[in-house]
Structure 1
Amino acid sequence: MMKLTECQCAKVSYLEDDELIKDTALRIKKKHPQITESDVTYLPRLKAAFEYANTIPLKEENTRRNFLLLETFYPDFYQNPEVDKWLRTPNGYSADQRLEDYKHVMINRERRRL
């Protein structure tokens, strides 16, 4: 069995995260062709959001992708103090569930044009 050093493990994790961000960006742009933001600004914005998501921490890959989807349509949404508090405050639900709840609130607000 091959053993990796801590530095090597960190590099593998970084590469996996980077691939997840790029793949998610590609999927979002394919599904929503109205997104025309250049990758020069779009990918670093998603990277910053992903780094924040890791501090919550979000565990499920699908939830991390949803976080990036929210960032796409609501830039810097997580920097709002109320959103940050909601995502970080343990209330009996996981951070993944709190994000899913927030996503549904935002979807419903869009549908009602609030």
Structure 2
Amino acid sequence: MLELTTEQVAALAEIDAKRFVEGVRADLCKDDPKLVDDTTFSSRLWRAFKAAREVGIERDENLVAFLRVEAYAPSFYEQPAIRAWLTRPGRSADQRFHDYLRVVRWHIEHPKFQGGLNNGGSGSAGNRGGSASTWSGLGARWRGFIGRGSGGGSG
């Protein structure tokens, strides 16, 4: 029987992980061709993948969603509140990330509640069209939700 060293097993696991991330990258670029022009995209996705694994995200669907969010909100996972939520004891990181996505999606689907009911706004979401409207719209709303909208900051 073939016996592999710990280093060989780790190298094979990394090759598999990189293949996974590359597949997600290819799908994202197919869905939103603007992402092809981002020269940092592959390295950002790899860092996000490693961060997701570090906090304990294991389920493929959550890893894909984590990378999709990274595509439109670079380094979102470095936000202290997000990291604290994902690493909080009591539930798995997969469960917590799934819950977090549900909250974000709810905010995106219900923009009138973004600032509360007394913000005086109409709650209009504006034009939601576009070839990759679901995820690019998520990206724009996500950046606003986590405080990284256009208009300042370092993000």
Shorter-chain TM band? 0.7 to 0.9
Alpha-carbon separation, structure 2, partners of 1:94 and 1:54: 12
- TM-score w.r.t. structure 1 length? 0.88
> Which portions of structure 1, spanning 4 or more consecutive aligned residues, are displaced by more than 6 angstroms?
none
8 Å Cα contact 2:35-2:41 kept in structure 1: no
* 1:94 partner letter: S
* 2:13 is the alignment partner of 1:6: no
Q: What's the offset of the Cα at 1:72?
A: 1.1
> Over aligned residue pairs, what C-alpha RMSD do you find?
1.5
Map residues 1-114 of structure 1 onto 2, 5 A cutoff.
Answer: 1-38=1-38, 40-91=39-90, 93-113=91-111, 114=114
Q: What's the offset of the Cα at 1:74?
A: 1.6
* 2:6 partner letter: E
Q: Percent identity?
A: 28
Q: What's the offset of the Cα at 1:73?
A: 1.8
8 Å Cα contact 2:57-2:94 kept in structure 1: yes
8 Å Cα contact 1:70-1:103 kept in structure 2: no
More helix by share: 1
- Alignment length, in residue pairs? 112
Unpaired segments of 5 or more residues in structure 2? 115-155
* Larger of the two Rg values belongs to structure: 2
